[in-house]
Every structure is written in structure tokens, then in C-alpha cells.
Structure 1
Amino acid sequence: MIKCFTVTIIAIFLSLQAFATDIPTLIWQFQADKSALSRKYTLKESEEFYDRFEKLYADYHTSLSEVDFASLSHSAQVDFILLKNHLDKELYQLKLDRGDFEKVKSFGEFLEPLRIFIVDRRRGNHPESEKIAEVFQAQRKELAQQRKGLESNEQKLERWQLAEKASGMVAELGKNLEEAFKFYDGYDPEFSWWVTQPYENLKKDLEVYAEFLKDYYSTEAVKDDGSGIIGRPIGREAIIESLGHEFIPYTPEELVEIAEKEFAWSEKQMLYASRELGFGDDWKAALEHVKGTYFPVGEWPAEINRMAEEAVEFLEERDVITIPEMAKETWRMRMMSPAEQRFAPFFLGGEVIQIAYPTDEMSHEEKMMSLRGNNPHFSRAVVHHELIPGHHLQQFMNQRHKTHRRLFYTPFWTEGWALYWEFNLWDKDFPRNAEDRIGMMFWRMHRSARIIFSLNYHMEKMTPQESIDFLVERVGHERANAEAEVRRSFEGRYGPLYQIAYMTGGLQFYHLKKELVDNGQMGEKEFHDRIMQENSIPVALVRAILKEEPLSRDEEVKWRFYE
């Protein structure tokens, strides 16, 4: 009996020890734990939420601290660094959010009885219905008093973002209160009898209070510069912190300087193509000529399909990357609605390429801007960006190789890889003529411009309207398309560094190819295939994998790729 017990203890110890060095399993467990906690703690603007998630990240940091890093394989060491970096990034953002929460929590502290009711509901506690009705009635009075006090207070919130956070906190409480009410309503007749009317009245009062808080900020805090585009500048310090989590050792000013150099190079290529077309040094006139080559209405989707197949044939003839037959077979296409095109005036891609194209309900001006902005020479430069070897191939491979790393998704890998192929295909003489070269350079200038306007915006040196004007005047965008591009950058579901990731990530891959392929250390096909098999991770760590560089548990990659 003792012998069996001892064997069992040893087996448990060995299994735990094995788990500690199985970093992919630890990554999967972290994702499961975070997902479970997110479903449980639905009051995200609360002390309870912030405390619990701080503990989650601390617990996983402790797990990593107990791992013998030196005993891990090189691939597992990369996974270790990725998880540690991810925990640091999540904790940094959590602390920023909590800092703002601390500034606005007083606007909802008097509603604590409602939070108690919501928390009690989680375990299905039997409600004291009459008391709850009294609480709801009392909360309505406190809401009225709170708002009256705020209206007479001249000291408002210093930033409109804080006002929206305060409003969101109250709206979220209302949503959770509705879920808790519906849990009992109809299932507990006494509860419905007592609580229904007080709840309906309280619900309306909470909605009014949340709307009131949206505008409770200082008149000196400018929310709209006249463009109608509302963004959230994060500031220089947060940019540098975020770049650090991407293992990019550059300041925002250095990245803007790089973008200006790349823009100037592209502009020179525009001049060469402009002269070839007979427009001399007026490359914007040459650009207007190219915009006027749009396809007849109704024929565009078939041309997209032809372009997609052309890019695959071009790559396979040169045997520079493995393209699975299933990847070639399974991509699809759809047309974007006019509403979607307000945020995305060009293609979006992945397994489904989404085509921006005018519809019959658009105004004539909108139709022409869409046609001109999606002409065949512009589009030939980006269909492969969206499909193969770009986003569709990426997603296809990410679902099949080192899938635990999908947690570490980064646009510097995703958008950087797709843009890298625009660079690589340019070098391989993919453009057939001067019009194609103008199309490719338009996009290359556009990606440089993204770095310039988005970083300057987040450092509060440019406004959304100035960003729009910059795209129109410096890059040659149609104004409606420029507005959509800026709206997508600052109001879309993208992180603050997303738009700089195209050019920055593309340059990382491009210079990594120079370092490894052009110098003869690795074949080009092997280089591309290996990248596709490592999943979406910071490009500096892709480099560490391909070069098999020694790593440390506190790795701070300082790869100055643009040098």
C-alpha cells in the first residue's frame, strides 16, 4: 500500500515537472484560463475584475519563473519568451486601463448595491424580492442626486476619453443588471411582482445617466477636429512601450525618419515612371492617368480572379515558396457594402478577399472615387497581398503550424509579410509596364505615409483632418478614400501601431532576406517556408529562430534592422 502511494506521488511529481517544461501546453492553458475568467467576470470596470486579472498574470509569471530555461529546446525557449512578453504586454495595458478606472470609479461607487445584486446572481442566490425593489427605488433617487451634483460642479473630467470610460462603466453595469433581472424574472413569481416596475424605471435612469456622462468633460478637451473622426491618441511613452513588446528598438521619431526616406525613394520611382509615360516630372498627372484606367462596371470581380491566379503562377514559375493545393483551392471573394467602404475603401483579405467597388446606391462622385481608387494597376499590386502569398496563405499556414502561437498574433508579422512581398515582387520585375510601377509605388508611398501620419497623430502632432489632407496632397489619394483610410486607422478595430506595422514589418522581412538569402546563408524558398511554419510572432524572434541565436529568459532583442 505504501509502495503504491509512493509510486503515485512520484508519478504526479514527474508529470508536473514535465508540464513545467511543456511551454505550448502552458500557453494553451493560459488562453483557456483567461477566456474562462472573461466569461465569469463580466463587470470589466470594477475592482474585482482588475484584481482577478492582475492575479492571473502574476500566477503565470510565477509558473514561468519555475521553468529551467536552459533545459528547453530552442523552439520552446522562443515560446517561453513569447509568453513572458505577452504577459508583460497584457499587464501593462491592464494597468493603464486601471489607472483610468481609478479616475472615474467615483461616478459609479454609489451604485454598489446593484453590483452586489449582480454578483449574488452568479450563484443563483434566492433574492429577497421586496428588499431588492426598495434598493432599486433608492438607487433611482441617488442617481438623480448624483447627476444634480455633477451638473453644478464646474470641475469636469480633463479628457473626453475618461468621460466615455465613465459612461461605459455605467452602461456595462446596466447590461449586467438586465441579465441578472432576467435570470429571476418569470421564474420567481414573487420577484417579478415586486421588482419588475422598479427595475424598468431604474433601467431608463441608468441609460440617461450613462448618456449624460459621455459629455462630462472639459470644453478644452477637443474630441472632433471637424473631420468627424474620433480617435484616441496614446502618447509617445505608450508608443515606445508598445514597440518594446514588438522587439523593435526604435523611437517613433526614428520610424518617422525611416518612413520619410522610404517615401522619398518611392517618389523617385514615380518620377521615372512618369517620364516614361510622357508626363515629365509631374508624377501626379501620371497618377491621374493610371486612375482613369478603371475597368468597365460589372467586369471587375473576374479580373480580380485573374490577378490572383497570375500571382500564383509567377511565384510557382520561380519556385520561391511552397503553395499548398488546398490553399489555392479554398480562397473566396465577396463585395463590400457602401457602409463597409466608409472604413475600407480598398481590398481586405484573407481566405475571403473583400472587394471595394461602387454600388448603384452611391452618388456619382462616390462611384467615380471608388472606381479610380481601385483601378487595375493599383489593384495588381495588392491582390497578392490579400491572397497568395499574403494573408490567405498566412492564415492557411497559421491554422496548421505551431498553432499555440496564434495567441501572439502581431500585425508586424501579418501585414509586414504581405507588404514584404510587394517589395520582393518589385525586385523580381513583377510590374509589366510604367502604369504597374506607378500602381506599386502608390501603395509603397501610402504605407510610408501611414507611419508618418499615425505616429504623429498618436504623439498629438497631427489631427485626423491633417492626416486626410496629407494623404490627398502627398500621396495622391481620392479624398473620400483618404477619409475612409484615416477613419479606419483611428476608429476601426485596430491597435494604435497597426498602421505602422505594414512598412515596418515589411522592412524587417526585407532586410532579413538580405541578411540570410542574399548573402547565401539560406535558399529563398527555404527562407519563405520556414517563416510560414513559425506562425505569427515578432519578426525579431523569427530572425532568432532562423539564425539559431542563443536566447536568454529575459531576452531583449535589439535588432536594428534598418541599419
Structure 2
Amino acid sequence: MPRSRAPLACAGLALLAACGGPPAPGAVAPAATDSARFEQLVARYVAKPIVADDPERDATDAALERLDAAAERQAAARAGGWLRELAAIDTARLAESQRIDWLLLRAALRRTVADTVFQPARRVPGRYLTLGGLYWRVMGERPPTAADWRAALADLQRVPRALALGRRQLEAPPPLWSRLAAGSARSYVAFLRDELPPRVDDVAPDSLKPRLRQAAGEAAAALAGYAAWLDDSLPPGADASWAIGAPDYDRLLRDAHFLPFTAETMIEEGRRIHEATKRALDSLAAQVAPGRTWRQLVDEMQGRHPEPGAITDAYRRASRGILAALIRDDLIRIPPCEELDFVPTPPQLRETYAWGGYGGVVPRDGALVGRFFVTDVVPGMTPAQVREKLRAQNHGWITVIALHEGYPGHHLQTVYQKRGTRPLRQELANTYAQEGWALYAEHWMARAGVLADADARLAQLQMRLWRTARVIIDPSLHTGRMTHAEAVQFFVDEVGLERSAAEAEVNRFTTWPTQAPSYIVGWLELERLKADLRRALGAAFSEKGYVERVLEAGALPPALLRRAVLAAYGLDDSRVSR
């Protein structure tokens, strides 16, 4: 497998040129059919995955086939065909909402083509750890149903075959990714041997208990063997072979996120906002405790934290308090039939999610139920690791993360998205819209007085500094301007993160290029749009109306989100001064 990223980038761009250019003159269908043809294409995309499944095939077989390297080639071929169909539609004959969706679908299909060139089946050891859904099924707050346990059994039975496929396909992955996957595999072994059996004994259907115990034992043995193989036998790739390089980084910013930045200009923007945020922290410290630095205040704040095992409950209480304030003060409409479930962070995410994260929604019993992952102290941690985890999970940060991941952040945004009227926007979500919204929510809640506590206000600004550091670090990592160790040290020195949290952050950046800057960049775009609308509408503008229109538009890339929100007000850029 090639280790240099430049040939991959060229190959990806060549495929794009071959299958997704602008409509050729004379190639369009009659005007009356363009809209209908586009809606039919969207319906097909939403109804079927890029990698086609046979509905008669066993679900485990289908899941394993999606991990196969051949599926990547199939995905690229199918996406290329759909791009040709899309290019034959004249966007001038579509409604504005359809034109936005046309651009959204083209970006998604182009990324499918380009990303498959990077061969994740051969380079990503963690993709063969297929038990992430098990936590949601059996370890959440809701009692598992019989159907949940049957699905859990299928999850467990799939493990040995998935890991065997990984052994056949993996070739010289980045050493860091192998270490992360091996650590996650061992965490799963501990879970399957120590935590799952009592859960099975207590609440699983009697008819399934023997098979669940057997499958868990076989899965644990396979995972232990996979971890040892990653450590001892799989030849490693180059140390920093996770870096995608400037050409691919710039392509993702332009083609996937519709942004005017390059890696270089992204770093420049990050440094500007980073310095401004440090000045804001200095100002807050002068107001709260004259004569003391914000770093001293952060050190004290980190000492105020829940006890081990109580972190999840602290998040739950904070989230419920924020939701109550949203309802009491009528800040935003909360759709009916939704819930938020707090779940232990799955093992494969603990090395990259130091605090926790949002795992999306699934329909259960007529409600949209969100998954809020929380990373608590876990067995096997040393006393020093426990201390670092508790200091990271302090009450100030918990309050802000609770609103970022839950209400009115990711969970509420996802509920609006899934209840939207545009089918394509129910399926596709852009990280700059998602994280930009969640960071906007933090600042909105601070303005609304929901973050009145001194620790919460300090945490909110420190977390903004954390996000500005991401804008600097992520493009620097992927373009060779910064090493992994330098990135970790930057977080420790500039933001005041605990080292273990900083390492988890940087580990995640290696696996998800261009995601880390999305918080600050997406937030700034939402603030600019709000300022433009406030000028255009004057006294008719309300923040409640604005945030509801933003969420109703869907999690679109910033440029498309701007078009959709302006259209919801009956405006466009020609009628809004910037």
C-alpha cells in the first residue's frame, strides 16, 4: 500500500473530474422534469446506502461486507454513477431549497469518491472493533428490550469474524492507530468479562442468557488476540502516516465544507482568535478575582469535581437544569417525543473522548432518544490517572459540556434535523454546522444568564480557548507543521489541559482531519449571519426566531446554511449587508 499521500490525492481528484463536473451544454432533461428527477434521486439516496445491501442477506453478513475493502471500491463506483446523474440536472430549474440540496448531495458523493481512495479498510485498525452499539443497547438508562438483547447477541457473534477480516486486510497502519485500537480492544475485553456478565444475569431474557455468555466469551478471546496481534505482529507504517497533507486538507475545506480557507489561512485565523480569547480570559479574571491570573482560577476550578463514579450523574443534573431554563424562559421550542440517555463512553472512544460526546439519536418507543456518552473513571486507572480524570471532569466544564452535547446543543439540533421536512437534510450533517451550533449555544446560554455560575463562565471561556487551539493544531498536524508531541504540549501550555486530556484530543485529530476547527469557524459564521439579519430586520429580529430557523434548516455546511436561513426570512445576500 502506498505510504505517500500525494498520489492518493491526485487519484482522488482525477476520479472527481471524471464523474462529477458541471452539467454539459445540451445534456439537461426537459424543464418540467428536472425537479422531479432530482427528488427521485434524493429518494433513492436516502432509501439505499452507497454500498447496496441485499435485504434477504443476514444482517451480520451485510455488516461485515461493509468492512471489506471491496465495498470501498463499490462505494466509489456507485457514487460516481450518481454524480453523473446529478450533473445532468439543471440547477437553474430547481427551487432554492432543491439547489441547496443539490450542492449538499454533490459534496457528499464527491467525498465518498475521494475518501475511498485512502483505503481505510487497510489502514484503520479501529474500524474492526464493532461493539460500539452494544453499550447503547444494554448499558443505557432504559431497560433493554428482548429485541435489544437479540441485537446484542448478533453484535457479539460478529466480533470474531470482523477481527479476522481486519487481520486479512490491514497493511502498515499508522503506529498510533494500532496502539489506540489495541487499547480499545483490551478495554472491551475487560467489559465483556467483568461488566457485561452481571448485566446479562440480571436483566437478559432467560432464553438468551447461555448464548450471550458464550458469545461474550468468544468475543473477548478474539479481542485479546487482536490486541496482541496489533502489538506484536502487524508491521507498522510510518509514524506520522496519519497526516493527509496540505492538498487533501485544502480539498476537504473547499469541497466538503464549502469554506474559503486553506490549511495556512486556517492557522492564521486560529492564532488571531486564540489571542483574542486569551485577552477575554484575562479580563474575566480581573473582574472575578483582581490580582490573580485565569490560570490560577482554572487550577482551583479543576479541584471542584464529582467523586469517582458520580460524573455521569453530574452531567445528568446539569443537563436537566439547562433544559428547565430553556422551557421556563421560552428561549427555544423543544419538540415533543424526545429524550436524552446518558451512557458510558464505549471503550473504543475513551482514548479520544476525554470528557464524553454525543452519539446521535435512535427511535425507541415512538421517541427520538439521544445518546450522551460520559467518560468516567474506569477500573484499571492508576491513582494519578484518576486524579487527572477528575480534575478534567470538574463542575465548570461539566456544565458547559452538558449544554454543548445535550440541550440546546447537539441533541436538540439533531432532533430538529430528524424532524425536518427535507429528507436529504435528515440524513446528511456537516460538522461545521454541528459544532458551530453547539459552540454558538454556549455563548447564547452565557448571554441568557444560564451560565451564571463563576466556574461555568470561566469554563466557557477556557473551552473557547481550547477550541481556538484546535484551529491552530489540526491543520498544523496534518500538514507537517507540528508533531503529535508538540500538539499535546501546546494544549497543556496554552490552554491548561491535563496531559491525558490533551493526548486524547490530539489522538482524535489524527483520525478526523478538518473536524477540529469546525467549532470556532462554524460559530463565527453563525454570529456573522445573526449580525447581518439583525441589521436587515431591525426591531423585527428575535434570537428565538433566529435559532429556530437555523435548526430547522438542517446541519448544512456554513455557506449553504446561510442561504437556507436567509431564504427562510425571504432574503438573500443581495438584500443583506455584510
Q: TM-score range by the shorter chain?
A: 0.5 to 0.7
SS at match of 1:348: strand
CA-to-aligned-CA distance 1:421-445 (integer Å, 9 cap, x gap) = 1122233343324322211111101
Measure how far apart 1:241 and its partner are.
0.7
Residues 441-480 of structure 1 aligned to structure 2 (within 5 Å): 441-480=461-500
Deviates more, 1:477-486 or 1:252-261: 252-261
* Partner Cα distance (1:97, 1:359) in 2: 33
Q: Please, which moves more after superposition, 445-454 or 303-312? A: 303-312
Q: Which amino acid aligns with 1:242?
A: L
Displacement of 1:502 in angstroms is 1.5
Q: Is the 8 A contact 2:436 2:523 kept in 1?
A: yes
Alignment of 1:515-530 (within 5 A): 515-517=532-534, 519-520=536-537, 522-530=541-549
The separation in 2 between residues aligned to 1:35 and 1:337, in whole angstroms, is: 26
CA pair 160-54 structure 1, distance change in 2 beyond 3 A: closer
Distance in 2 separating the partners of 1:413 and 1:482: 24
- For residue 343 of structure 2, give the secondary structure of its aligned residue in structure 1: strand
Q: CA–CA distance in 2 between the matches of 1:42 and 1:381? A: 37
Query: Pick from 40, 51, 58: which aligns with 1:25?
Result: 40
Question: Contact 2:309/2:377 (CA < 8 Å) preserved in 1?
Answer: no
Amino acid at match of 2:410: H
- Deviations 1:129-150 (Å, cap 9, x if unpaired)? xxxxxxxxxxxxxxxxxxxxxx
Matches within 5 A, 1:74-85: 74-85=96-107
State the match for 1:214 in structure 2: 235
Which stretch has the larger CA shift, 388-397 or 469-478?
A: 388-397
Paired amino acid for 1:274 = A
Q: Which residue of the other structure, out of 271, 292, 316, is the alignment partner of 1:260?
A: 271
CA distance in 1, matches of 2:545, 2:38: 26
CA distance in 2, matches of 1:487, 1:249: 26
What are the equivalent positions in structure 2 for 1:380-395 lying under 5 Å apart? 380-395=399-414
Cα shift readout 1:62-115 (whole Å, capped 9, x = no counterpart)? 3223324333221112112222232333333345659x99xxxxxxxxxxxxxx
Post-superposition offset of 1:27? 2.1
TM-score normalised by L of structure 1: 0.66
Q: 1:387·1:393 contact (CA, 8 Å) conserved in 2?
A: yes
Higher mean alpha-carbon deviation, 442-451 vs 346-355, is at 346-355
Q: In 2, are the aligned partners of 1:270 and 1:441 still within 8 Å (CA)?
A: yes
CA contact (8 A) 2:437 2:526 kept: yes
- Tell me, what secondary structure is at the counterpart of 2:51? helix
Deviations 1:191-242 (A, max 9, x none): xxxxxxxxxxxxxxxxx9xx98834x6xxx5x1xxxxxx6611111111111
Does 2:281 correspond to 1:270? yes
Contact preservation (8 Å) 1:274, 1:434? no
Question: Residues of 2 paired with 1:53 and 1:432: CA distance?
Answer: 49
Report the 3-state secondary structure (helix = DSSP H, G, I; strand = E; otherwise coil) of the residue aligned with 2:300: helix
Q: How many residues align?
A: 424
Task: Please say which structure displays the higher CA radius of gyration.
Answer: 1
Q: Distance in 1 between matches of 2:75 and 2:311?
A: 49
| Aligned counterparts, 1:84-483, within 5 A | 84-95=106-117, 214-215=235-236, 221=238, 223=239, 232-245=242-255, 246-278=257-289, 280-327=291-338, 330-336=339-345, 340-349=349-358, 350=360, 351-359=370-378, 361-401=380-420, 402-483=422-503
Q: 3-state SS of the aligned residue for 1:536?
A: coil
Q: Is the 8 A contact 2:50 2:79 kept in 1?
A: no
- CA change 1:483–1:213 in 2 (3 A) is closer
SS of the counterpart of 1:331?
strand
Distance in 1 (CA, whole Å) between partners of 2:545 and 2:33 is 32
Measured against aligned partners, the alpha-carbon deviations of 1:352-387 in whole angstroms (never above 9, x if no partner) come to 222222245422111111111111111111211111
TM normalised by structure 2 equals: 0.65
Note if contact 1:292-1:372 (Cα within 8 Å) is conserved in structure 2.
yes
1:80 to 1:299, Cα distance in 2 relative to 1, 3 A: closer
Deviation of residue 470 (structure 1)? 0.7
Q: Return the alpha-carbon distance in structure 2 between the equivalents of residues 355 and 53 of structure 1.
A: 33
The RMSD of aligned alpha carbons is 3.9
Q: CA deviation at 1:405?
A: 2.3
Contact 1:389 1:421 in 2 (8 A): yes
User: Do the aligned partners of residues 404 and 271 (structure 1) sit closer, same or farther apart at CA in structure 2, a change above 3 Å counting?
Assistant: same
Rounded to whole Å, the distance in 2 between the matches of 1:558 and 1:365 is 54
Distance 1:442 1:42 in 2: 40
1:498 corresponds to which residue? 515
In the alignment, the residues of structure 2 paired with residue 68 and residue 79 of structure 1 have an alpha-carbon distance, to the nearest angstrom, of 13
Letter in 1 for 2:425: R
* Aligned mates of 1:366, 1:444 — CA distance in 2: 25
Which whole-Å deviations, capped at 9, do the CAs of 1:259-314 have from their partners, x for residues lacking one? Answer: 22222222122223323443625321111011111134454444323311222233
Between the two structures, name the one with larger relative contact order (CA 8 Å, sep ≥ 6).
1
Q: 1:35 aligns with which of 26, 29, 51?
A: 51
In structure 1, stretches of 5+ residues that fail to align are 1-13, 102-156, 166-207, 224-229, 550-556
**Aligned counterparts of 2:326 and 2:379: Cα–Cα separation in 1:** 37
- Indicate how the Cα distance of structure 1 residues 18 and 507 shifts in structure 2: closer, same or farther if over 3 A, else same: same
Correspondence 1:532-543 to 2 at 5 A: 532-543=551-562
Asked if the contact 1:517–1:524 (Cα under 8 Å) also holds between the matched residues in 2, the reply is: no
Q: What residue identity is the alignment partner of 1:469?
A: Q
3-state SS of the aligned residue for 2:445? helix
Matches of 2:72 and 2:373 in 1, distance apart?
A: 37
Partners of 1:364 and 1:543 lie apart in 2 by: 49
472-481 vs 530-539, greater mean Cα deviation: 530-539
Quickly say closer, same or farther: Cα 1:303–1:54, change in 2 above 3 A.
closer
8 A contact 1:398–1:535 mirrored in 2? yes
Partner of 1:486: 506
Would the alpha carbon gap of residues 369 and 264 (structure 1) be closer, same or farther in structure 2, given more than 3 Å must change?
Answer: same
Cα 1:381–1:231 shift into 2, 3 Å: farther
Letter in 1 for 2:267: V
CA gap of 1:507–1:86, structure 2 versus 1, over 3 A, is same
- The 3-state SS of whatever aligns with 1:448 is helix
2:134 aligns to what? none
Is the contact between residue 397 and residue 460 of structure 2 (CA under 8 Å) also seen in structure 1?
yes
Once the two structures are overlaid, the 10-residue window that deviates more, 380-389 or 527-536, is 527-536
Paired AA for residue 472 in structure 2:
I
- Structure 1 contact 20–63 (Cα < 8 Å) conserved: no
Corresponding residue SS for 2:419: coil
Paired residues of 1:338 and 1:358 also in contact (CA < 8 A)? no
Uncovered stretches (5+) of structure 2, i.e. residues with no partner: 1-28, 55-61, 124-170, 179-228, 361-369
SS at match of 1:334: strand
* 1:353 counterpart SS class: strand
Describe the shift of the 1:333–1:95 C-alpha distance in structure 2 as closer, same or farther (beyond 3 A): closer
Q: Which amino acid is 1:244 matched to?
A: R
- What secondary structure, in the 3-state scheme, does the structure 1 residue paired with 2:528 have? helix
Match of 2:18 in 1: none
Structure-2 change in CA distance of 1:253 and 1:360 (3 Å) = same
Judge conservation of contact 2:446–2:452 (CA < 8 Å) in 1.
Answer: no
